[in-house]
Structure 1
Amino acid sequence: MRAPPQAPRSILITGASSGIGRALALAYARPGVALALIGRDEERLEAVAATARGNGAEAEIGLVNVRDQDAMARWIAARDASQPIDLCIANAGITTGLGPGDIAESPQAVRAILATNLIGVLNTVEPLIGRMCGRGRGQLAFIGSIAGLRGLPYAPAYSATKAAVHAYSESLRGRLEPCGVTVSLIVAGFVKTPLNDSIEAVKPFEITDVEAARIIQAGLDRGRAVIAFPWPLYFAARLSQLLPSRLVDKIMTRFQVKVPETQDRAN
């Protein structure tokens, strides 16, 4: 049985200005912990850092766009050189999708979500893989989604990005864990965040971002390979993989869902 990782003291979180990223930053904020918080909204990010400092943690903010490979590499390398990162949580993400009657997503929106949800993840972890392996310790955590288990007809590009993150993290896990680097995939259901609030749909088993952070932190503390919640929705998604594809298509298209198009653009 694999031993759980040591309690992290230097933690990098992307998308830390709101939602799950913010909740995780505050969950980890305590004396002896140094947080490196990356985001694009300076006011909100500084507010998170100030609260974390009030809880006894050190907190540094980085106003970096995860899509910018060079800027991410420079910022993360500098941070790791001064305070080696024990835990990196690749959390930053956006959503986009379709409304009833829509046929296809905007190509600009599709490329924006690929740039953030997939390329942004690569830009986050790539600067740390060699460094963590060289030290023989560390932990990489990827925020995936139940949408990554089965393509959703109202969110094709979002589903594709999360499926890619799932495959990437699973591939890294087998490669890096022999080097002492733990890799964990978080398969999240509906979490009440500003991102999720923009979606008009029935959201079964929705939980708060604070509850999600508690579940994620507990799983990361144990070094779990997969941290999935809520279990009923995760089980249903896994079951759908075993059923006839067109049957699942018919079931899924019965749901009335409206996912607004992201206004982000790749460039």
Structure 2
Amino acid sequence: MTPPLVLITGASSGIGQAMALHYARLGYRLALVARRSQAIQSWLDAHAIRPENYVIYCADVAQSSQMASLAQACIAQQGLPDVVIANAGISIGVDTSVPDDLAVMANILATNVIGMAATFGPFIAPMVARGSGTLVGIGSVAGIRGLPGHGGYCASKAAVISYCESLRGELRTSGIKVVTLCPGYIATPLTQNNQYTMPFLMSPEMFANKAVRAIAAGSSYRVIPWQMGVVAKLLRLLPNTLFDRLFAGRPRKPRVTDPSD
């Protein structure tokens, strides 16, 4: 029998790369998507993953036409994926009072939200026709409450959580599972410049192990690690006055134009 196929966007580093390695070790074939295809190739070579077990697709998830073409190529070359993981994302601080930062925020939303819809969209009808498949959206605990200086990213991940919930309802009787994963702080390039405390910081490899288990179990929503889920729920329950006081003076996420970035 042909091994199952998983498609992962943002596969050139961090969470995407760790999940790709975990699935490869489970015997899955890989469809790996990123703008930096050479970075993926170097990583695959370093881990001795056999060429017949993967295909690299170079695309920008924010470009819906590219994602539609990618989906057609993937289905033609490798078949319809069993699991599609929309992981590609960017995290940059924004300051709404700075006009140039509105373009930065638009790029965050285009990549993190529209890019997810563009990733899922071309596979939905074929999966419905087959009667099976799993769509995985990578959200974040940052989507549960807004953090100072992090408006673009928090807004995008709040949208991801709601979008996946809507999609789950739409596909409830189709045989397709929609899984929302919300990482806490993971030691990846997205967090390496953070100038604030990151409780329960987790390695990408440990996240991948827990994430793949949650996907296999068909969990509709999972915060990883679970401790951050508890923290997020408590923060959600805090009155705004207490929440604002708690985060007053917290260092902001570095902006793209900040000298330290």
- Percent sequence identity is 37
Which of 43-52 and 220-229 deviates more?
43-52
d(CA) in 1 for partners of 2:57, 2:74: 10
Normalised to the residue count of structure 2, the TM-score between the two structures is 0.90
Counterpart AA for 2:191: N
Q: 1:140 to 1:253 in 2, by over 3 A?
A: same
Corresponding residue for 2:88? 92
Shift of 1:31: 7.3
**1:155-185 CA distance string (max 9 Å, x none):** 0110000000000101111221310001100
Partner of residue 254 from structure 2, selected from 251, 260, 264: 260
Shift of 1:50: 3.0
Partner of residue 184 from structure 1, selected from 159, 167, 179: 179
Q: 1:53 to 1:12 in 2, by over 3 A?
A: farther
d(CA) in 1 for partners of 2:52, 2:185: 29
Q: 1:174 to 1:133 in 2, by over 3 A?
A: same
Corresponding residue for 2:69? 74
d(CA) in 1 for partners of 2:178, 2:26: 25
Residue correspondence of structure 1 range 147-186 to structure 2 within 5 A:
147-186=142-181
Corresponding residue for 2:226? 231
d(CA) in 1 for partners of 2:50, 2:112: 30
Residue correspondence of structure 1 range 62-141 to structure 2 within 5 A:
62-82=57-77, 83-98=79-94, 104=97, 106-141=101-136
**1:75-132 CA distance string (max 9 Å, x none):** 112212441110000000001115xxx6646112111111111111111011111111
d(CA) in 2 for partners of 1:251, 1:211: 29
Partner of residue 41 from structure 1, selected from 33, 36, 39: 36
Contact 2:211 2:224 in 1 (8 A): no
Corresponding residue for 1:197? 192
Structure 1 unaligned regions, length at least 5: 1-7
Contact 1:86 1:138 in 2 (8 A): yes
d(CA) in 2 for partners of 1:111, 1:54: 36
Contact 1:49 1:60 in 2 (8 A): no
Kindly indicate whether structure 1 or structure 2 has the higher relative contact order, using CA contacts under 8 Å at least 6 residues apart. 1
Contact 2:11 2:34 in 1 (8 A): yes
Q: Does 1:60 align with 2:55?
A: yes
Corresponding residue for 2:236? 241
Shift of 1:139: 0.1
Contact 2:92 2:153 in 1 (8 A): yes
Normalised to the residue count of structure 1, the TM-score between the two structures is 0.88
d(CA) in 2 for partners of 1:222, 1:115: 30
Structure 2 unaligned regions, length at least 5: none
Query: Cα RMSD between the aligned structures?
Result: 2.0
d(CA) in 1 for partners of 2:26, 2:212: 17
